[in-house]
């Protein structure tokens, strides 16, 4: 189906029998994550320390656990990996930094959406799974833009934060829907690796799109509803 040989950072695509044993032993990554964890624990105090520890745990799951290798085989796993960055690690890290005086919420929302959409364009995605430097550029920009978004949401006024969260929900859902209804497999690195998992490339792609379309988009909606509740609560208390 495709002649290219893909050599992603996480290694060759595993089959189901070996997947759980495929932990990432990259010593450079281990040193970086360990140093970052220690630095955070030294510099942070109180609740921020726990949030930072949770964020680093998410990064270990994404980059060191067998999920890393599985993401070489399945676009679904790669999607879960990216959503762990955007919806778990990023908001936890955003809670560890001081509130922003000028959130620049519109710019943060646009940056997160543009970067996430760009890296899920088939051409750029294939490049990221072909070159380690591009792979890490993808990871850093996805995570960094998401941290900016969540930090801006945290710092923004309620109505603006709700609008940004709903915009992020719609954009995530739209990307998922486009992937689901593409009608043909788009992501060449997975053309030859999904059958071992009893999925065609198109089925794998559609499953990934559904994850973006429903639960991932719903995560933004839930936070928006929480912010709306915060806006309505003072009025309710005043009426009482």
58-88 confidence digits (pLDDT tens): 999 999 999 999 999 999 999 999 999 999 9
Q: Residue 234: what pLDDT? A: 62
The Cα–Cα gap between 62 and 136 comes to: 13
Average pLDDT of the segment spanning 142-148: 98
Spatial CA neighbour of 88 closest among 210, 219, 202 = 219
CB 140 within 8 A of CB 205: no
Residue 13, in any domain of the structure:
no
Choose the weakest-confidence range: 36-45, 150-159, 184-193, 230-239: 230-239
Residue 30, in any domain of the structure:
yes
Q: Residue 2: what pLDDT? A: 43
Residue 9, in any domain of the structure:
no
- Domain holding 134, by residue range, is 19-232
Average pLDDT of the segment spanning 184-213: 96
Residue 237, in any domain of the structure:
no
pTM: 0.92
The answer on pLDDT for 163 being more than 90 is yes
Q: Residue 240: what pLDDT? A: 43
Total number of domains constituting the chain: 1
Residue 3, in any domain of the structure:
no
């Amino acid at each position: 189906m495709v002649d290219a040989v893909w050599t992603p950072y996480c290694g060759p695509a595993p089959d189901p029998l070996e997947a759980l044993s495929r932990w990432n032993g990259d010593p450079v990554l281990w040193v970086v994550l360990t140093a970052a964890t220690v630095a955070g624990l030294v510099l942070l105090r109180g609740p921020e320390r726990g949030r930072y520890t949770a964020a680093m745990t998410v990064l270990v799951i994404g980059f060191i656990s067998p999920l890393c290798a599985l993401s070489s085989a399945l676009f679904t796993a790669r999607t879960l990996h990216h959503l762990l960055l955007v919806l778990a690690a990023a908001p936890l890290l955003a809670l560890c930094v001081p509130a922003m005086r000028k959130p620049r919420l519109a710019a943060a929302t646009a940056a997160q959406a543009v970067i996430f959409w760009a890296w899920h364009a088939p051409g750029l995605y294939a490049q990221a799974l072909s070159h380690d430097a591009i792979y890490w550029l993808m990871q850093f920009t996805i995570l960094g833009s998401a941290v900016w978004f969540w930090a801006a949401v945290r710092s923004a006024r309620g109505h603006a934060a709700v609008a940004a969260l709903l915009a992020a929900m719609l954009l995530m859902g739209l990307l998922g829907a486009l992937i689901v209804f593409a009608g043909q497999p788009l992501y060449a690195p997975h053309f030859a690796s999904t059958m071992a998992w009893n999925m065609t490339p198109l089925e794998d792609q559609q499953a990934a799109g559904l994850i973006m379309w429903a639960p991932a988009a719903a995560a933004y909606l839930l936070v928006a509803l929480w912010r709306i509740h915060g806006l309505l609560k003072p009025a309710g208390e005043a009426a009482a």
